[in-house]
């Protein structure tokens, strides 16, 4: 594709055909919608189409084909990874339809965040498989797999998708399910936005009105004891248990509770989908390893599941690194403690391990571009990408992954890897998945206008 010359009037034709508004650089709405949640990523989209109907998305993609402009998509900006310089950004915030069906499924517009689905499903005793932060967009999360706080019980959230409605790169609105366009259905579950712009999704909900869960925070001096106990605890856990551990160095902010703000702590997160009586003793065991300084575990409404991780809601400048680990033997724990433990001068605000396995290790009913996950743990580091020590903070994060590299599988997950980077995508998808995605892109987006498809094509070469 040749690079188009953008002039003041480039987007007039599209603006005239949309029911939603169009925003150009220099306007407050452009700045609001083009600035991602990770505010360290620049907001340079050539224009923002704030679509209000699926027909607007069709118009935007067909315009992109005529104008030779790449088109990107965003709902909340939580997963933005690259600059959108010269690209048309389709913002889906106004695609806000949501219907929960008492029989156990929901139809969700592309602009809807998980917290709305949680609240709408709760009166029926139903639950969507959300991630650690319900503030994230449902569709963006589902296109990347979706690894949440009850994932070992129920598997990846993308496997709950019954159907997508999607505008592919050729400008056609299509339905993709196990029966209609099954190849698109395969690729949209894990392929992120590389195959088109989803306008709505239909998902199965699980019957889970409550869970037994929470988080226990311990003081810095107990880090080693807690990390070692957690690592020994994990392999014996039933699949009804999902757990993660975080070494935290949270900043001193009014939104962060005083006992854990501005200091180093270690936290154990836990969610159990079975009868609480069967697991209370095991949780008391891990809680008794040291004296918790904050938090608790108990029966909670499923709709409050976001409290388990209590991820930040306000936008922040951040950098992340992610690895999948085969195992976490004692030597790996030693290596982790040396780079991220109480005595390590790490600048990561969070160094997190999540236990995988259970349903995550099993093939889904319908094969997809992600899963089953052939690894035992995830390792995620997050640092602040602002201030004078950004380079040192990035280096600290990399040092954690280097230290654990002997136990890494070399692979990554779509929701935790920058989608604009071919090198990362080669770690996310195996060779056959990349080839299959590239073949689908060639078929459904012959001019290559979908921005997220381009790095997939580059990675497949």
Interface residues with ligand FAD (CB under 6 A) are 36-37, 73-80, 92, 110, 131-133, 136-137, 139-141, 143-148, 192-193, 197-198, 311, 415, 419, 452
CB of 322 to ligand FAD, least distance (A): 10
All residues at 6 or more sequence positions from 113 whose CB lies less than 8 Å from its CB, including other chains: 75, 76, 134, 135, 136, 137, 138
CB of 9 to ligand FAD, least distance (A): 27
Indicate left, alpha or beta for 171 from its phi (over 0: left) and psi (-120 to 50: alpha). Answer: left
149/292 with CB nearer ligand FAD: 149
N residues, the chain? 461
Alpha helices in 51-112 (DSSP H): 54-67
CB of 269 to ligand FAD, least distance (A): 11
CB of 337 to ligand FAD, least distance (A): 24
131/397 with CB nearer ligand FAD: 131
CB of 132 to ligand FAD, least distance (A): 3
57/229 with CB nearer ligand FAD: 57
Q: Concatenated DSSP letters for 262-307?
A: TSEEEEEEEEE-S-GGGTHHHHHHHHTTS--SEEEEEEEEGGGGGG
Largest CA distance in the chain: 67
**Other Cβ atoms within 10 Å of 451 Cβ, number:** 25
318/393 with CB nearer ligand FAD: 318
CB of 35 to ligand FAD, least distance (A): 11
CB of 380 to ligand FAD, least distance (A): 9
148/292 with CB nearer ligand FAD: 148
CB of 253 to ligand FAD, least distance (A): 15
Residue 334 CA to residue 321 CA, distance in Å, equals: 20
Residue 278 CA to residue 294 CA, distance in Å, equals: 24
As to burial, measured by CB atoms within 10 angstroms (0-12 exposed, 13-18 middle, 19+ buried), residue 308 is buried
Residue 362 CA to residue 8 CA, distance in Å, equals: 52
140/341 with CB nearer ligand FAD: 140
Give the SS3 label for residue 196: strand
Nearest one of 42, 50, 44 to 75, comparing CA atoms: 50
184/332 with CB nearer ligand FAD: 184
Nearest one of 341, 261, 254, 336 to 293, comparing CA atoms: 261
Apex CA 67: angle with CA 63 and CA 69, to 5°?
Answer: 90
Residue whose CB is nearest to ligand FAD in the complex, by number: 140
131/171 with CB nearer ligand FAD: 131
């Amino acid at each position: 594709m040749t690079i188009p010359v953008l002039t003041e009037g480039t987007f007039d034709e599209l603006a005239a055909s949309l029911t939603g508004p169009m925003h150009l650089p220099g306007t407050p709405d452009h700045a609001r919608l083009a600035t991602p949640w990770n505010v360290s990523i620049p907001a340079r989209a050539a224009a923002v189409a704030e679509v209000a109907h699926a027909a607007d998305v069709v118009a935007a993609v067909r315009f992109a084909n005529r104008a030779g402009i790449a088109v990107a998509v965003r709902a909340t900006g939580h997963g933005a990874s690259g600059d959108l310089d010269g690209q048309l950004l389709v913002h889906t915030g106004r695609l806000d339809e949501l219907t929960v069906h008492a029989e156990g499924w929901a139809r969700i517009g592309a602009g809807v965040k998980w917290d709305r689905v949680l609240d709408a499903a709760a009166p029926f005793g139903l639950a969507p498989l959300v991630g650690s932060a319900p503030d994230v967009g449902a569709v963006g999360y589902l296109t990347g797999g979706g690894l949440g706080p009850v994932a070992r019980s129920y598997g990846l959230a993308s496997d709950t998708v019954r159907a997508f409605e999607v505008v592919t790169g050729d400008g056609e609105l299509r339905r993709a399910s196990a029966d209609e366009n099954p190849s698109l259905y395969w690729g949209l579950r894990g392929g992120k936005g590389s195959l088109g712009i989803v306008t709505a999704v239909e998902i199965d909900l699980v019957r889970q009105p409550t869970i037994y869960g929470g988080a226990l925070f311990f003081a810095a001096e107990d880090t080693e004891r807690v990390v070692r106990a957690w690592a020994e605890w994990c392999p014996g856990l039933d699949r009804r248990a999902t757990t993660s551990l975080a070494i935290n160095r949270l900043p001193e902010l009014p939104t962060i509770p005083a006992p854990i703000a501005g200091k180093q702590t270690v936290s154990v997160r836990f969610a159990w989908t079975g009868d609480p009586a069967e697991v209370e003793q095991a949780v008391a065991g891990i809680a008794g390893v040291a004296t918790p300084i904050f938090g608790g575990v108990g029966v909670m409404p499923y709709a409050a599941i976001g409290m388990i991780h209590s991820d930040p809601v306000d936008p922040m400048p951040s950098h992340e690194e992610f690895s999948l680990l085969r195992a976490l033997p004692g030597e790996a724990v030693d290596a982790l403690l040396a780079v991220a433990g109480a005595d390590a001068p790490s600048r990561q605000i969070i160094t997190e391990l999540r236990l995988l396995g259970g349903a995550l290790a099993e093939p889904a009913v319908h094969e997809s571009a992600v899963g089953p996950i052939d690894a035992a743990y995830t390792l995620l580091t997050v640092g602040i990408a602002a201030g004078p020590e950004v380079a040192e903070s990035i280096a600290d994060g990399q040092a954690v992954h280097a230290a654990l590299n002997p136990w890494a599988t070399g692979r990554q997950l779509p929701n935790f890897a920058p989608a604009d980077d071919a090198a990362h995508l080669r770690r996310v998808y195996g060779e056959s998945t990349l080839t299959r995605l590239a073949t689908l892109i060639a078929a459904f987006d012959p001019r290559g206008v979908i921005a997220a498809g381009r790095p997939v094509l580059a990675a497949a070469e």
